[in-house]
Amino acid sequence: MDNHTQKRNIRLVALDMDGTLLNSEHEISEANREAILKAKEKGVHIVLSTGRPFKHVVDYARSLELNSFIVTVNGGEIWDSNGKLLDRTLLQIEQIKMMWDLKKHHNTKFWAITVDKVFRDDFPEEIALSEHQWLKFGFDIEDDEVRNKVLEELNKQTLQVTNSSPTNLEVNPYGISKANALEKVCERIGITMENVMAVGDSLNDIAMIQSAGIGIAMGNAQETVKEAADWITAANDEDGVAKAILKFVL
């Protein structure tokens, strides 16, 4: 890490949630809370940037008393601090049908996120006739060989494929990423990605880690993410977010 990286004027901290801000108990540690509060007091925007849908994020944002933007479903949506939707990009019905067929063919676990629901067990019988608006589709596959076959099929399509854990595949519309969403947030604030510190642990965090002025990988991050980062902090169970904020923001 060079001196230039250390001297960045960080005005926005983008935090992934699972495996990053949240510990193994899906809680925010006291150390992380204190560091976030101090950064906020310094006028730094704290932006949750997650694969989760808004309704699975909002309580955490409220508990931290955040007053900035929220990036959800890997960049598929951007919300303001009042819970007003600012930006949304949807998957096409044909793409959902293709992925549902792929799930059935390989008998995989799945989840799917619409603008108002998360499907895990049930699923609309007639996808084309359903009125759902689809944001993301996910596969959870323990078997490496099966996962690679599914990934191979997905890569033939015009889709954005990442992961939020080593065993899953997360699919968004092509071009959607946390990085692109954060660029839009920066435009609204009047800063650039040079003023951003991004922290994450999985493949859906790589784009924002590489695009940010300072990209931080968690100690528990996947190896590819660590290779993409400017610095590696402690694990999510060891207050890694707090340590990164203390080092580069405070």
Instruction: Please report, for the chain, the start and end positions of each structural domain, with discontinuous segments joined by +.
Output: 3-86+177-248, 93-173
Helix (H) or strand (E) holding 6: helix 3-6
CA 61 from centroid of its chain's CA atoms: 14
Note whether 204 and 164 are within 8 A (CB).
yes
3-class SS of residue 186: helix
| Strand residue runs (E) in the chain | 12-15, 45-49, 70-72, 77-79, 85-88, 109-114, 118-119, 134-140, 159-162, 168-173, 196-200, 214-217, 231-232
Q: In this model, does residue 3 exceed pLDDT 80?
A: no
Determine what percent of the chain is predicted with pLDDT higher than 70. Answer: 97
The token pair at 13 is: 């901290």
Same fold yes or no, 3-86+177-248 and 93-173:
no
Residue range 198-217: mean pLDDT, rounded? 98
User: In the prediction, which pLDDT does 5 show?
Assistant: 56
Report the distance separating Cα 143 and Cα 145, nearest Å.
Answer: 6
Note whether 48 and 71 are within 8 A (CB).
yes
User: In the prediction, which pLDDT does 162 show?
Assistant: 97
Q: Closest by alpha carbon to 51, among 18, 96, 93, 85?
A: 18
Report the distance separating Cα 203 and Cα 186, nearest Å.
Answer: 22
Report the distance separating Cα 24 and Cα 235, nearest Å.
Answer: 10
Report the topology of domain 93-173.
3.30.1240
User: In the prediction, which pLDDT does 7 show?
Assistant: 65
User: In the prediction, which pLDDT does 67 show?
Assistant: 94
Q: In this model, does residue 116 exceed pLDDT 80?
A: yes
For 200, residues 6+ apart whose C-beta sits below 8 A from its C-beta are: 15, 16, 19, 20, 49, 178, 206, 208, 209, 216, 217, 218, 221, 225
DSSP string, 73-107: GGGTEEE-TTS-EEEE----HHHHHHHHHHHHHHT
User: In the prediction, which pLDDT does 8 show?
Assistant: 81
The token pair at 46 is: 């704290």
The single-letter code of the amino acid at 120 is R
CA 199 from centroid of its chain's CA atoms: 10
Q: In this model, does residue 4 exceed pLDDT 60?
A: no
User: In the prediction, which pLDDT does 1 show?
Assistant: 58
Catalytic residues: 16
Of residues 124 and 148, which shows the higher confidence score? 148
Note whether 90 and 133 are within 8 A (CB).
yes
For the segment 62-93, what is each residue's pLDDT rounded down to a tens digit?
Answer: 999 999 999 999 999 999 999 999 999 999 99
For the segment 125-182, what is each residue's pLDDT rounded down to a tens digit?
Answer: 888 767 899 999 999 999 999 999 999 999 999 999 999 999 999 999 999 999 999 9
As a CATH number, domain 3-86+177-248 is 3.40.50.1000
Report the distance separating Cα 159 and Cα 21, nearest Å.
Answer: 27
pTM to 2 decimal places: 0.94
